[in-house]
Every structure is written in structure tokens, then in C-alpha cells.
Amino acid sequence: MIDILILTTKGEFLLNRCDFSSISTCLKNHISESNQMSQPDFLYELFEDFMDDPANQDFSMDNGLVCRWLTGQAKISPKISAYYSKPSNQKKLAETIHQNLLPLMSDCNMAMQDIYTLFIQDDTISDAKKEKSGFSVQTSQLTSAFSCKADFFWHGATIYQT
């Protein structure tokens, strides 16, 4: 399969896969310049619920590994994947994005539009699955984008499996 590049509204190129690397890159790139943060800080904001869970108090993020997660060169920690595989934690993830990241963006609607474009143009997701998800720019329902039975955090895997 040949990956097609997608030009986002901010001029970045994303692969046509709706995976962790593409979505997190999109979110991070839409954070306004005055609110920019390091990659580890970005992931601490994104995974706040995971990091605050007492069961994960011994977990730390290695800078090199964080970079590889965000560039799609490595899989997210299985511990993080397992945590967010639960539907209740997927909902928490969406709420955390709304609470922690969207306010840092100069135009969060544009970020949602870019994620929606990525989702719609991912040819590994069936049209039926896309329609069933209920995810749209108009509703901006991040929960729909993150809560299907797929491993969003698995490198190369799409958010939705057909």
C-alpha cells in the first residue's frame, strides 16, 4: 500500500492513517505559539488521567521514547494502551483533550477539522464504519474519534478497525 500525504489546514503533511502519531501531531501542531510545550509535557497533558492513576505512579516517560511515539517510530507503552483500551478511560481521554489541550489552541475547530479530514481520508477505514462512528466536524465529538474497539495507540493501526 502506498501512503498518500494529506496537507492539513496549517500546511503540515500527515500520512493518510488515522493513528496515534498523526492525531497527536495534529493536536500538538495546533497549540498556539504562546502555549507551546515540550513533547513530554504534551503527553503528560494528554495522558493526565493515566499519569494520575495511583497504579501508574512508577511510570515515567523517557524523552527519546516520547519522540519515537509521536513520530510513529515506536508503539505507545503497552501500559498506556491497556489503560485507554477501557471505554470509560477512552471517554476520560476525550474529556482531557477538551479540558487540557483545546484551550491552548488558537483555533481548536481547525484542529478538529484536520482530524476529521484525516479520519475521512483514511482508506483503511470502511465507509460504513465512518458513518457508524458519528464523528463529524460539526459535532466535534472526540469521544467518537477515540472510542471504537481498536488500538489507537498501536503504531500503524487506525483508530477504527474494519
- Kindly report, residue by residue over 74-98, the tens digit of the pLDDT: 988 999 999 999 999 988 998 999 8
For residue 155, what pLDDT is reported? 35
Tell which residue, 153, 148, 156, 155, has the closest CA to residue 82.
153
Residue 120 forms part of a structural domain: yes
Number of domains comprising the chain: 1
Residue 57 forms part of a structural domain: yes
Residue 162 forms part of a structural domain: no
Lowest-pLDDT choice from 10-14, 75-79, 128-132: 10-14
Residue 38 forms part of a structural domain: yes
Mean pLDDT of 105-116: 88
Q: Are 158 and 125 in contact (CB under 8 A)?
A: yes
Residue 151 forms part of a structural domain: no
Q: What's the rounded Cα separation, in Å, for the pair 158 and 56?
A: 26
For residue 160, what pLDDT is reported? 36
| Domain span holding position 94 | 5-146
Q: What's the rounded Cα separation, in Å, for the pair 54 and 50?
A: 9
Residue 153 forms part of a structural domain: no
